Amino acid sequence: MKHSRLWLPLAAAAALFAFTADALAQKTRITVYTALENDQLGPYKAAFEADNPTIEIAWVRDSTGVMTARLVAEKDNPRADVIWGLSASSVVLFENMGMLTGYTPKGADGIKPVFKDSKNPAMWTGMDAYLSVVCFNTTEGGKAKIDAPKSWKDLTKPAYKGHIVMPNPASSGTGYLTIAAWLQVMGEAEGWKYMDALHENVAVYTHSGSAPCVQAARGERLIGIGFDMRGASEKTKGAPIDLILPSEGAGWEMEASAIVKGTKNLDAAQKLIDWTVSRKANELYGKYYAIVAMPGINAAPPNYPAGAEAAMVKNDLGWMAKERDRILAEWTKRYDGKSAPR
């Protein structure tokens, strides 16, 4: 009784923290950092947990750039157990910084060689590849009497001035792979010159890689350079857009998985990595991506343009990882003034 007043602040403090720990987990809870699209997270989690009932996935999701920066920032005190669905160039960057634990998953033999790290044990494994494409709104194009572009080069034509939106490579993985492809295909000098010209036509650089094709889909802009899958899904929803694979070839990136060094749930993490290369997982990827790691999977999301695999440019993921900082610094210096707020 005498101390009853002491309990008041204590109770308040307890109330404050109660809901931070409201789920007393009996399951192993693993923290998975990802840049996958939101609509994929639910199905992936459900399917994995159905096969591994003792493990629970806690997603931490943001755009590729943010996730990458965050993982780097947390290098000394990692909070993630597993990376699942982050661009391979970022994952290679982590490998170079010694942030990953190698593990060759059971069933790694079943996936295409390009989708796995050649080292043993493998530091990472790929899931799928995605491209940066041009989304063109045919309705608005018809109204404005502007023809669809066929190549990257076309986009610098004066007719497109103010009609193009593309992602900011500093924050968007799609943005980075797009410019990395230009620089690799055209060569550095030509590539920057091309971007200088393109910059004149760009209305805004968005924070995320999905936004440009969405804006094109809504007719808010005529042309969006961006994440292929989002363009396809918008088209499925009824957007009057065409997905164009430019004639010079399309930049691409792979999404990869890896185990973060220092995880306290290594066992569960390895189970997850095993699952990410399974047939079931690949069939799931195939619903969202045209190109997946396992051969022979029917990967045909609706409204996806044909010939995507052929249009992929020759891409050096190692180079992308190594040169990332330098290229982004240069890009920021040249064009950042037009970035969308975020």
Partner 1 sequence: MTAASAPLIRARASRDDLIMRAGLALFALFLLVVVALPLWALLSKSFQDHNGNFVGLANYLRYVETPALFQSFWNSLFVAIVVTAIVVPLAFIYAYALTRSCMRFKAVFQGLALIPILAPSLLPAISLIYLFGNQGLLKGWLFGQPVYGATGIITAQVFYCFPHALMILVTALSMADQRLYESADALGASRLRKFLTVTLPGAKYGLISTSFVIFTLVITDFGIAKVVGGRFNVLATDIYKQVIGQQNFEMGAVVGVVLLVPALLSFAVDRIVARRQVAQLSARAVPFEPKPRQSRDLALTLFCAAIGLAILGVFAVSVWASFITFWPYNLTLTLKNYAFGNFDPLGWGVYWNSLKMAAASAILGTIAVFLGAYLVEKSKGFHVGRNFVHLLAMIPLAVPGLVLGLSYIFFFNMKGNPLGFLYGTMAILVVNTVAHFYTVSHLTAVTALKQLDAEFEAVSASLKVPVWRTFFRVTVPICLPAILDVAIYFFVNAMTTVSAVIFLYSSETKLASLAIVNMDESGFTAGAAGMATVIVVTSAAVKLAQLGLSRLLSRTQAWRKR
Site residues for partner 1 per CB under 8 A = 5, 12, 15-17, 19-20, 38-39, 41-42, 58-61, 65-66, 69-70, 72-73, 79, 139, 168, 170-171, 203-204, 206-208, 210-211, 213-215, 217-221, 230, 234, 237-240, 332, 336-342
CB of 85 to partner 1, least distance (A): 12
Q: Tell me what percent of the chain is helix, strand and coil, each rounded to the nearest 5.
A: 45, 20, 35
Interstrand relation of 125-137 and 241-244 (parallel, antiparallel or unpaired): antiparallel
CB of 336 to partner 1, least distance (A): 6
Nearer to partner 1, 60 or 306 (CB): 60
Q: List residues bridging with 224 in a β-sheet.
A: 135, 165
Q: What is the C-alpha to C-alpha distance for residues 224 and 13, in angstroms, rounded to an integer?
A: 50
Nearer to partner 1, 125 or 168 (CB): 168
CB of 339 to partner 1, least distance (A): 6
Nearer to partner 1, 219 or 262 (CB): 219
Question: Could you report how far apart the first and last alpha carbons of the chain are, in Å?
Answer: 55
Q: What is the C-alpha to C-alpha distance for residues 161 and 198, in angstroms, rounded to an integer?
A: 9
Using alpha carbons, list the distances in angstroms from residue 82 to 15, 77, 270, 332: 31, 14, 9, 30
CB of 248 to partner 1, least distance (A): 26
Q: Structure tokens of 227?
A: 């994440």
Nearer to partner 1, 116 or 207 (CB): 207
Nearer to partner 1, 20 or 120 (CB): 20
In the three-class reduction of DSSP (H, G, I as helix; E, B as strand; rest coil), residue 101 is classed as: strand
CA atoms within 13 A on the CB side of 17: 6
CB of 18 to partner 1, least distance (A): 9
Nearer to partner 1, 44 or 115 (CB): 44
- With contact defined as beta carbons under 8 Å apart, do 173 and 251 qualify? no
Q: What is the C-alpha to C-alpha distance for residues 136 and 285, in angstroms, rounded to an integer?
A: 25
CB of 233 to partner 1, least distance (A): 10
Question: DSSP state, 265?
Answer: -
Nearer to partner 1, 134 or 297 (CB): 134
Q: What is the C-alpha to C-alpha distance for residues 148 and 211, in angstroms, rounded to an integer?
A: 19
